[in-house]
Amino acid sequence: MMASIDEREVTAPTSPTVDVLERQLHRTCDQLELIQDRIELLSIREKRCRESATSSGIQSVEIQLQSLRGVYNAFYKCADRQARKLQRKMNSRRQQRQSREEAADNVRSP
């Protein structure tokens, strides 16, 4: 027999755990490192194109470099949001733990 709606446990969507948030932030930071490496390589290539007698390909490199810098900035903002969210989650956990400890101390004290 199927339980009625009132008898079923209704749960709200859960927020991501600290572990999930940490993994997301770690992946984003890994991507930032990869993008930064690529930016450095393109910067070297741009410098060489500028120094060479022929300037073929300089516009292509400049466009690639600017696009990659835009992607880097987007990932940086994402990492910043993730870090702030993780910090709020950790602060919330710390406050909950402190309030539980205070409640336990109040119960113990006559």
Concatenate the DSSP letters of all residues of 14-50 into one string. Answer: PPPPHHHHHHHHHHHHHHHHHHHHHHHHHHHHHHHHH
Domain ranges for the chain, please list them.
18-51+58-103
Task: Give me the pLDDT at residue 58, please.
Answer: 86
| pLDDT for 42 | 95
Per-residue CA distances from 43 to 62, 66, 68 (Å): 9, 10, 11
Contact 67, 104 (CB under 8 A): no
pLDDT digits (tens, 9 = 90+) for 15-59: 778 888 899 999 999 999 999 999 999 999 999 888 887 677 888
In DSSP notation, 36-86 reads: HHHHHHHHHHHHHHHHSS--TTHHHHHHHHHHHHHHHHHHHHHHHHHHHHH
Q: Dump pLDDT digits (tens) for 64-91.
A: 999 999 999 999 999 999 999 999 988 8
Q: Give the pLDDT band (50/70/90) at residue 11.
A: low
Residue with tokens 């709606």: 5
